[in-house]
Chains A and B, each alone.
Chain A
Amino acid sequence: MDINRLRQIKEETFKSVGNRATHSALTGMNYDRQVLVCGSTGCSSNNSQKIRQRLAELVAERGLDRVHVGQTGCFGLCAAGPVVVVYPDGTFYSHVKPEDAEEIVDSHLVNNVEVQRLLYVDADGKTKPFDEIESYCRQLRHALRNCGVIDPENIDEYIARDGYFALYKALTEMSRDEVIDTVTASGLRGRGGAGFLTGRKWKFTKEAQGDKKFVCCNADEGDPGAFMDRSVLEGDPHCVIEAMEIAAYAVGADQGYVYVRAEYPIAVQRLAIAIEQARNYGLLGKNIFGTDFSFDLEIRLGAGAFVCGEETALMTSIEGHRGEPRPRPPFPAEKGLFGKPTLLNNVETYANVAQIILNGAESYNTIGTERSKGTKVFALGGKINNTGLVEIPMGTTLKEIIYDIGGGIPNGKKFKAAQTGGPSGGCIPASYQDIPIDYESLASIGSMMGSGGLIVLDEDNCMVDIAKFYLQFTVDESCGKCTPCRIGTRRLYEMLCKVTDGKATLEDLDKMEQLCYYIKDNSLCGLGQSAPNPVLSTLKYFREEYIAHIVEKRCPAGVCKALLKYEIDPSKCKGCTLCARNCPVGAIDGAVREPHRIDPDKCIKCGLCASNCRFGAIVKA
């Protein structure tokens, strides 16, 4: 591959992809219409592959050779999936089924009439072009710039969007120090959670002495509810490969590993295809662009251990051992994989690199807040209308994310808290919804940026139960190497169980806090050091809920089973006997057409009666 060939591919392919993500009618294009179907995990699990096949078949049958049907990565609005977008119209079809394909082709593509019933309805009740949707136009797509635009399985489409030009620029026009200085000046910080300055990490690895160095990518996205890295790999795998090559050039490595969780089969497959295509083009391998830089890349699959997201554990796992962390120092930059200096960055961090090299540090460091530059991708989940993937400039407030972009809380419920940073993070109460989202602000209120999972909780969620949920996760995932984490998290979990069972005392709360700080201060790795955060932050902001469980023996949100009581409202009960017949333990009795009664000693609080009652007579007390 040389630069002329790269430019030629770009020009040729632009004719096929140039009129995507734009309404302007370009001339000299190969297609008049682009029908793009989301092929990421969320939409694929809802049959989007079948939708695409059917659309392609019908387009061929009708002889529409000026229409292109293609797959892309995630558009972001997973809650509206499966998603089909038609350019240049910008038509946004949501919840599409394979049997809708015929109507889309015949009505829209043949007769130019949009299929009204499939159009996405925005928060204001109107249908509009994709890029004018409220939740979309407030975003700034930097790391996700190609997601939803290109076919991730076609390297030419990546090249058409300036792909591999940053690598060329770095290899031929920039010294290794210039590359590192540019990344440092951009202010890019690690998107995996801790937020270490990326350029500085690169510098340390470059300066380390070693006959062999490695560059690794952490794609072991393990936080429950987080799927940013998966979406990048599924939607734009080449941007990670290109960035890893730039990093390898800068630090002096010739071999790379992507450690990706096996639970992401589509991401693994697309990455494998991308590596193969890059090799075939000579963009991976020996003497890239005719320089003396050589680099190759291998995928290593994780096997379901959360701790392997920790950098030293990840390397131990690539080496083929139990993924246990090791003490630092020595840091991976000095002594990492197979004992060699190793650079490790997360997927989203890499996804920003090529654009920074291509457009300069200023293109990036002018976005964001003073100490947190650029954008951040969040995976919105939980009690929120627009579940999905969003990318926002650093400094956007939580309120904007939840209400303007996320579309608010479903069913008119009240926003209670947002959980960021997964099992390592904390809960931000609704009273802090005006806080700008950046590394420092989140840390100052006892949460953390984390990798970007953002789970919204409403009034029906019990905060003690949420803390317990995360602790159970940590107990399961603690690797067992160090005692404070292995035993400490288990004791902490048991204390939380005491609270939710209504058996704790107020003294236990103090003991819990003490134990939290003990675990934080004494654990070996980040997993243990951050494991108490969900407990500490809920204790700080929702202490009254803990106290209600302890003193009043009551769960205010009505979640904790041991403190729940199901009762039948005699004025509403018609005596239909449905609840009694469905009760698995025979706890309900009463005569036909007479109000029934639940025996609290027999009741296992399964809730089956309440979900079956047609008269709303069974209430949680």
Chain B
Amino acid sequence: MKGSTLPFDGTPEQEQALRLKLRELKTKEGALMPAMQFAQGLYGYLPYEVQSIIADELGVTLSEVYGVATFYSQFSLYPKGKYRIGICLGTACYVNGSQAIYDRLRQILGIDSGECTEDRLFSLDATRCVGCCGMAPVMTVNDDVYGRIKPDDVEKILDKYRRA
């Protein structure tokens, strides 16, 4: 089973909130995905420990939870950084040069898409179309959107968050 090697730091309060929600969802048909979406909202990712709680409460096997977690790209087995960087590789951004920006980000941060830096400051995701093709190429950091950027702008943008 693949997953993060960073230690799990969930609290008893989180576990209680999760179990409560799972008992409510259990009566619904097709509850597994909404349950996992809730859990990821709570913990930020789906480590082994959280998948076990979901399997336990919903009465499905752990392998089924893991199967769904690895099928959908939105479910993450790795934690996210304090600043989540998304770089759009949708068509409009791609034809306007977003690959070069993505390459520059990987080079500077030393991580690949889906991963998190060791200091948990930045995580990187190559995303599909984020929907503002008029600003292509687009990079997002948490809720901030940077449009019409060039590879040389990347370092400056990251610095803003390093200093924050």
The stretch of B4-12, B14-22, B64-72, B115-123 that contacts the partner chain: B64-72
Contact of A303 with B37 in the complex, beta carbons under 8 Å: yes
Residues of B56-106 contacting chain A, CB below 8 A:
64, 67-68, 71-75, 89-92, 94-96, 100, 103
Q: How large is the interface on B (under 10, 10 to 19, 20 to 34, 35 or more residues)?
A: 35 or more
Q: A455: which of B68, B89, B95 is its contact (CB, 8 Å)?
A: B95
Contact of A264 with B131 in the complex, beta carbons under 8 Å: yes
A263 to B72 alpha-carbon distance, docked (Å)? 12
The stretch of A40-48, A286-294, A506-514 that contacts the partner chain: A40-48
Contact of A320 with B68 in the complex, beta carbons under 8 Å: yes
* Cβ of B83 to closest chain A Cβ, rounded Å: 17
* Cβ of B151 to closest chain A Cβ, rounded Å: 7
Cβ of A611 under 8 Å from chain B: yes
Contact of A224 with B90 in the complex, beta carbons under 8 Å: yes
Q: A300: which of B33, B64, B132 is its contact (CB, 8 Å)?
A: B33
* Residues of B close to A336: CB separation below 8 A: none
Contact of B33 with A382 in the complex, beta carbons under 8 Å: no
The stretch of A122-130, A225-233, A239-247 that contacts the partner chain: A225-233
**Which residues from chain B sit less than 8 Å from chain A, CB to CB?**
29-34, 36-37, 64, 67-68, 71-75, 89-92, 94-96, 100, 103, 107, 127-136, 145, 147, 150-152
Contact of A387 with B133 in the complex, beta carbons under 8 Å: yes
**Which residues from chain A sit less than 8 Å from chain B, CB to CB?**
41-42, 45-46, 78-79, 81, 222, 224-227, 230, 262-264, 300-306, 317-323, 338, 379, 381-383, 387-388, 419, 422, 453, 455, 457, 461, 466, 469, 479, 584, 606-608, 611-612
- Among residues of A, the one whose C-beta sits closest to the C-beta of B58 is A320
Q: A42-B133, A303-B73 are in contact. List 11 more A-B contacts (CB 8 A).
A: A41-B132, A45-B132, A225-B90, A300-B33, A304-B73, A306-B128, A319-B29, A320-B33, A387-B134, A455-B91, A606-B100
Q: With A305-B72, A457-B95 in contact, do A81 and B30 touch (Cβ < 8 Å)?
A: no
* Cβ of B129 to closest chain A Cβ, rounded Å: 5
Across the A-B interface, the 10 shortest Cβ-Cβ residue pairs: A303-B72, A320-B32, A304-B73, A381-B92, A320-B30, A225-B91, A304-B74, A387-B134, A322-B71, A224-B90
> Which residue of A222, A230, A319, A338 has the most chain B CB atoms within 10 A of its CB atom?
A319
Q: With A46-B135, A262-B74 in contact, do A381 and B33 touch (Cβ < 8 Å)?
A: no
Contact of B132 with A262 in the complex, beta carbons under 8 Å: no
Contact of B30 with A319 in the complex, beta carbons under 8 Å: yes
- Among residues of A, the one whose C-beta sits closest to the C-beta of B60 is A320
* Residues of B close to A319: CB separation below 8 A: 29-30
Could you give 21 example pairs across A and B, Cβ below 8 Å?
A42-B135, A46-B135, A81-B134, A224-B129, A227-B129, A264-B131, A300-B33, A302-B72, A303-B37, A303-B72, A304-B72, A304-B73, A318-B30, A321-B68, A381-B91, A382-B91, A382-B95, A382-B96, A455-B95, A469-B91, A607-B151
A320 to B26 alpha-carbon distance, docked (Å)? 12
* Residues of A close to B90: CB separation below 8 A: 224-225
Q: With A263-B128, A300-B34, A381-B133 in contact, do A387 and B94 touch (Cβ < 8 Å)?
A: no
Contact of A303 with B129 in the complex, beta carbons under 8 Å: no
Contact of A379 with B133 in the complex, beta carbons under 8 Å: yes
* Residues of B close to A222: CB separation below 8 A: 128
* Residues of A close to B74: CB separation below 8 A: 262-263, 302-304
A143 to B29 alpha-carbon distance, docked (Å)? 32
- Among residues of B, the one whose C-beta sits closest to the C-beta of A264 is B131
* Cβ of B79 to closest chain A Cβ, rounded Å: 18
Contact of B129 with A226 in the complex, beta carbons under 8 Å: yes
* Residues of A close to B128: CB separation below 8 A: 222, 224, 263, 304, 306
A606 to B103 alpha-carbon distance, docked (Å)? 9
* Cβ of A20 to closest chain B Cβ, rounded Å: 24
A227 to B134 alpha-carbon distance, docked (Å)? 12
A141 to B73 alpha-carbon distance, docked (Å)? 35
Contact of B129 with A305 in the complex, beta carbons under 8 Å: no
* Residues of B close to A301: CB separation below 8 A: 33-34, 37
* Cβ of B90 to closest chain A Cβ, rounded Å: 4
Contact of B94 with A469 in the complex, beta carbons under 8 Å: yes
* Residues of B close to A466: CB separation below 8 A: 95
Q: With A317-B33, A320-B30 in contact, do A78 and B132 touch (Cβ < 8 Å)?
A: yes
Q: B75: which of A263, A303, A318, A461 is its contact (CB, 8 Å)?
A: A303
Q: With A224-B90, A320-B31, A387-B133 in contact, do A611 and B150 touch (Cβ < 8 Å)?
A: yes
* Cβ of A438 to closest chain B Cβ, rounded Å: 23
A321 to B129 alpha-carbon distance, docked (Å)? 25
Q: With A303-B33, A320-B30, A320-B32 in contact, do A608 and B151 touch (Cβ < 8 Å)?
A: yes
* Residues of A close to B95: CB separation below 8 A: 382-383, 455, 457, 461, 466
> Which residue of B36, B129, B136 has the most chain A CB atoms within 10 A of its CB atom?
B129
A423 to B109 alpha-carbon distance, docked (Å)? 31
A387 to B33 alpha-carbon distance, docked (Å)? 35
* Cβ of B37 to closest chain A Cβ, rounded Å: 6
* Residues of A close to B75: CB separation below 8 A: 303
A606 to B100 alpha-carbon distance, docked (Å)? 8
A320 to B75 alpha-carbon distance, docked (Å)? 14
Contact of B100 with A607 in the complex, beta carbons under 8 Å: yes
Q: A41: which of B67, B73, B100, B131 is its contact (CB, 8 Å)?
A: B131
* Cβ of B21 to closest chain A Cβ, rounded Å: 15
Contact of B151 with A611 in the complex, beta carbons under 8 Å: yes
- Among residues of B, the one whose C-beta sits closest to the C-beta of A612 is B152
A605 to B114 alpha-carbon distance, docked (Å)? 26
A46 to B130 alpha-carbon distance, docked (Å)? 13
* Cβ of A213 to closest chain B Cβ, rounded Å: 14
* Residues of B close to A338: CB separation below 8 A: 29-30
* Cβ of A79 to closest chain B Cβ, rounded Å: 4
Q: With A320-B33, A381-B133, A611-B150 in contact, do A387 and B92 touch (Cβ < 8 Å)?
A: yes
Q: With A78-B133, A304-B72 in contact, do A382 and B31 touch (Cβ < 8 Å)?
A: no
A323 to B75 alpha-carbon distance, docked (Å)? 13
Contact of B134 with A300 in the complex, beta carbons under 8 Å: no
* Residues of B close to A224: CB separation below 8 A: 89-92, 94, 128-129
A412 to B71 alpha-carbon distance, docked (Å)? 44
* Residues of B close to A379: CB separation below 8 A: 133
* Cβ of A47 to closest chain B Cβ, rounded Å: 9
A464 to B134 alpha-carbon distance, docked (Å)? 24
Q: A611: which of B32, B91, B136, B152 is its contact (CB, 8 Å)?
A: B152
